[in-house]
Amino acid sequence: MYSEKVMDHFMNPRNVGEIEDADGVGQVGNAKCGDIMKMYLKIEDGIIVDAKFKTFGCGAAVATSSMATELIKGKTIKEAEMVTNKVVMEALDGLPPAKVHCSVLAEEAIAAALQDYRARHGLDSDSEYAGCPGCCGGCGRLEQQNRNGGE
Amino acid sequence: MQKPVIYLDHAATTYVKPEVFEAMKPYFIEEYGNASSLYSVGRSGRKAVEEARTAIARCLGADEPGEIYFTGSGTEADNWAIKGAVYAAREKGKKHIITSAIEHPAIMATCKYLKKEGFDVTYLPVDQEGFVNPGDVEKAIRPDTAIVSIMYANNEIGAIQPIKAIGEITRKHGVLFHCDAVQAAGSIPVDVRELGVDLLSISAHKFYGPKGVGALYIRKGVRLENLIHGGHQERGKRAGTENVAGIVGMAKALDLAIANMDQYAGKIRKLRDRARDLILSRIPHVRLNGPVENRLPGNLNLSFQFIEGESLLLMLDMKGIKASSGSACSSGSLDPSHVLMAIGLSHEIAHGSLRLTFGESNTESDVGYLVDCLEEIVARLRTMSPLYEDFVKANKQAAK
**Residue extents of the structural domains in chain B:** 18-259, 261-399
Rounded to two decimals, the ipTM of the complex is 0.85
Establish how many alpha carbons lie within 13 A of residue A112's alpha carbon, considering only the half-sphere containing its beta carbon. Answer: 22
Cβ within 8 Å, pair A56-B332: no
Distance, CA of A114 to CA of A83 (rounded, Å): 12
- The 8-class DSSP code of residue A70 comes to H
Position B309: which residue type? G
Best probe of the A interface among B348, B384, B392, by most A CBs < 10 A, is: B384
Distance from CA of A7 to the nearest CA of B (A): 9
pLDDT in tens, A86-139: 999 999 999 999 899 899 999 999 999 999 999 998 886 554 444 445 555 544
Name the residue among A54, A60, A98 with its Cβ closest to that of B386: A54
- Comparing alpha-carbon positions, the chain A residue that sits nearest to B386 is A54
SS3 category, B340: helix
Write the CB contacts of B135 (distance below 8 Å, at least 6 apart in sequence): none
Q: Which residues pair with A27 in a beta bridge?
A: A38
* Closest-CA distance of chain B to residue A18, Å: 9
Q: Quick one: average pLDDT of A8-24?
A: 96
Burial of B396 (0-12, 13-18, 19+ CB in 10 A): exposed
What domains can you pick out in chain A, each with its CATH number?
Answer: 4-147 (3.90.1010.10)
End-to-end CA distance of chain A: 14
Tell me the pLDDT of chain B (400 aa) as tens digits.
Answer: 567 899 999 999 999 999 999 999 999 999 888 888 878 777 889 999 999 999 999 999 999 999 999 999 999 999 999 999 999 999 999 999 999 999 999 999 999 999 999 999 999 999 999 999 999 999 999 999 999 999 999 999 999 999 999 999 999 999 999 999 999 999 999 999 999 999 999 999 999 999 999 999 999 999 999 999 999 999 999 999 999 999 999 999 999 999 999 999 999 999 999 999 999 999 999 999 999 999 999 999 999 999 999 999 999 999 999 999 887 665 556 678 999 999 999 999 999 999 999 999 999 999 999 999 999 999 999 999 999 999 999 999 998 8
**pLDDT, position B116:** 97
A36 → chain B, closest CA residue: B386
Task: Tell me the catalytic residues of A.
Answer: 33, 102
Distance from CA of B289 to the nearest CA of A (A): 18
Helix (H, G, I), strand (E, B) or coil at B281: helix
Contact B314 A10 (CB under 8 A): yes
Question: 10 Å Cβ neighbour count for A68?
Answer: 31
Any residues with CB less than 8 A from the CB of B145 and at least 6 apart, and which? B94, B96, B97, B98, B173, B175
Question: Of the residues B111, B179, B329, B373, which is catalytic?
Answer: B329
**Taking CB atoms and an 8 Å limit, are B327 and A36 in contact across chains?**
no
CB pairs under 8 A between A and B: 70
Pick the CATH number of B18-259 from 3.40.640.10, 3.40.190.10, 2.60.120.920, 3.90.470.10: 3.40.640.10
Q: Give the residue on B whose Cα is nearest the Cα of A57.
A: B308
d(CA B335, CA B212): 29
Instruction: Give the burial class of B209: count Cβ atoms within 10 A of its Cβ; 0-12 exposed, 13-18 middle, 19 or more buried.
Output: buried
Q: What residues contact B16, with CB distance under 8 A and at least 6 apart? A: B24, B205, B208, B209, B210, B249, B253
Distance CA B40, CA B34 (A): 10
The CATH number of B261-399, from 3.40.50.10860, 3.90.1150.10, 1.10.10.10, 3.40.50.720, is: 3.90.1150.10
pLDDT computed for residue B77 by the predictor: 98
Mean pLDDT across chain A, nearest whole number?
Answer: 86
pLDDT digits (tens, 9 = 90+) for B34-82: 888 878 777 889 999 999 999 999 999 999 999 999 999 999 999 999 9
